[in-house]
C-alpha cells in the first residue's frame, strides 16, 4: 500500500474488518497484553480465548472463521482495543486483503 494511501486512510469504525471471514492471529506479546487487559493469567487467556491456528502455526482467537471477532461489540467497537492484536494494528499499513478491501468503509470512501 502506498504511503500516501495510508496517510489518507481514516477508519470509519464500521467494524467490517472484524467481520471478514478468517482468523485473528495472536503473538506471545498479544496474549500477554490481552491477558493483562482482561485481568486473567496468560495461561487462562490462551485456554479460554484461543485455538491452535490451522496447520498448528501459532494461536488464533477462538471462534468460527465466518463469525465476527469474539471481541467485537454490538456497537462495532473492539472490546480490547487498547491491547488489540498486532494483526489488527497492522491493518492497513502492513497488510491488506481483497476481502477486507471489498468491505472497508474507509477504502470505499471517496478520496480527495
- Based on the shown chain and the rule CB under 6 A, indicate whether residue 16 belongs to the binding site for ligand SF4: no
- Based on the shown chain and the rule CB under 6 A, indicate whether residue 80 belongs to the binding site for ligand SF4: yes
Q: Which stretch binds ligand SF4 (CB under 6 A): 3-11, 43-51, 52-60, 82-90?
A: 82-90
What is the spatial order of strands in the sheet that 50-52 belongs to? 25-26, 59-61, 50-52
Comparison of 52 and 80: residue with beta carbon closer to ligand SF4: 80
Q: x/- site string to ligand SF4, residues 20 to 49, per CB under 6 A?
A: ----x-------------------------
Footprint of ligand SF4 on this chain (CB under 6 A)? 18, 24, 69, 71-72, 78, 80, 84-85, 88
Amino acid at each position: 500500500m502506498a504511503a500516501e494511501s495510508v496517510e489518507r486512510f481514516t477508519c470509519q469504525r464500521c467494524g467490517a474488518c472484524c467481520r471478514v471471514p478468517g482468523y485473528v492471529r495472536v503473538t506471545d506479546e498479544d496474549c500477554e497484553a490481552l491477558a493483562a487487559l482482561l485481568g486473567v493469567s496468560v495461561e487462562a487467556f490462551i485456554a479460554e480465548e484461543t485455538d491452535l491456528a490451522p496447520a498448528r502455526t501459532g494461536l488464533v482467537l477462538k471462534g468460527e472463521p465466518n463469525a465476527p471477532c469474539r471481541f467485537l461489540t454490538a456497537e462495532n467497537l473492539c472490546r480490547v482495543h487498547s491491547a488489540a492484536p498486532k494483526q489488527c494494528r497492522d491493518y492497513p499499513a502492513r497488510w491488506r486483503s481483497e476481502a477486507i478491501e471489498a468491505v472497508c468503509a474507509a477504502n470505499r470512501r471517496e478520496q480527495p
